[in-house]
């Protein structure tokens, strides 16, 4: 993307690390966009995506610093709400990355985001149809993310406390019949925002990618 005379590279290292290393300007991805894409990139790389049905829940910090009725604690406590159903601003951003991997194979993303009763973190689940076995899917994901320091594939159930306060993304896959559910979790303030910005800065300046990001999850 370009703004005036400045050209920006999309800053998702798991998608295009080399381009980031050579960039002068980075466009840092959105938080939902990061969580959803990390769950789908290996499938897009094999052109396996057509219709994708995604739900995702985010904490109150996903709304930013400005006070609003739906970010106030008294509203969020013991409450949940869908918003921007099928019309979230990150859908186009995600579509561009998936198209970059799939070429002419278009993936239609149907996304319903939720506001959750917690402060930090994003939990996303994407459902697709596939005849691939669960073992083959895990092999695909593990191969794709080999060498990526912050994205990990887990065969056990995942939850927000494993990633909040870290720059990590955890991915878990389940299958019933020909339906595949891909779960991914991140901290929206770190891997979904400033942590990823630091990761991109490290790559741009040829610093060890994990510098400043050796963080311990709240779970431990």
Report the domain count for the chain.
Answer: 1
The model's pTM is: 0.93
Kindly report which listed range (31-40, 68-77, 93-102, 140-149) carries the lowest average pLDDT score. 68-77
Q: Give the domain CATH number at 39.
A: 3.30.360.10
Residue 123 domain flag: yes
Give CA–CA dist 53/112, Å, rounded.
Answer: 8
Residue 210 domain flag: no
Span 194-212, pLDDT tens digits: 999 999 999 999 999 999 9
Q: What is the DSSP string of 147-213?
A: T-SSEEE-SS---GGGTTTSS-EEEEEEEETTEEEEEEEE-TTIIIIIHHHHHHHHHHTT--TTTT-
Q: Whole domain around residue 118: which residue ranges?
A: 30-190
Kindly report which listed range (15-29, 69-83, 97-111, 113-127) carries the lowest average pLDDT score. 69-83
Span 119-163, pLDDT tens digits: 999 999 999 999 999 999 999 999 999 999 999 999 999 999 999
52, 107 contact by CB (below 8 A):
yes
Q: Which residues are catalytic?
A: 31
């Amino acid at each position: 993307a370009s703004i005036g005379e400045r050209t920006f590279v999309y800053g998702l290292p798991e998608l295009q690390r080399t381009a980031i290393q050579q960039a002068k300007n980075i466009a840092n991805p959105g938080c939902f966009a990061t969580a959803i894409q990390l769950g789908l990139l290996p499938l897009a790389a094999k052109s396996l995506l057509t219709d994708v049905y995604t739900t995702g829940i985010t904490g109150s910090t996903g709304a930013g610093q400005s006070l609003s009725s739906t970010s106030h604690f008294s509203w969020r406590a013991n409450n949940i709400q869908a918003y921007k159903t099928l019309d979230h601003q990150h859908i186009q951003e995600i579509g561009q990355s998936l198209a970059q991997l799939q070429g002419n194979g278009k993936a239609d993303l149907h996304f319903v985001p939720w506001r959750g009763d917690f402060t930090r973190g994003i939990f996303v689940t994407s459902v697709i149809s596939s005849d691939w076995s669960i073992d083959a899917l895990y092999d695909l994901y593990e191969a794709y993310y080999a060498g990526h320091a912050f994205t990990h594939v887990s065969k056990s159930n995942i939850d927000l406390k494993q990633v909040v306060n870290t720059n990590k993304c955890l991915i878990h896959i389940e299958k019933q019949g020909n339906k595949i559910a891909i779960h991914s979790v991140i901290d929206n303030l770190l891997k979904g925002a400033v942590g990823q910005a630091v990761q991109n800065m490290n790559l741009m300046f040829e610093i060890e990618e994990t510098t400043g990001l050796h963080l311990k999850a709240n779970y431990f």
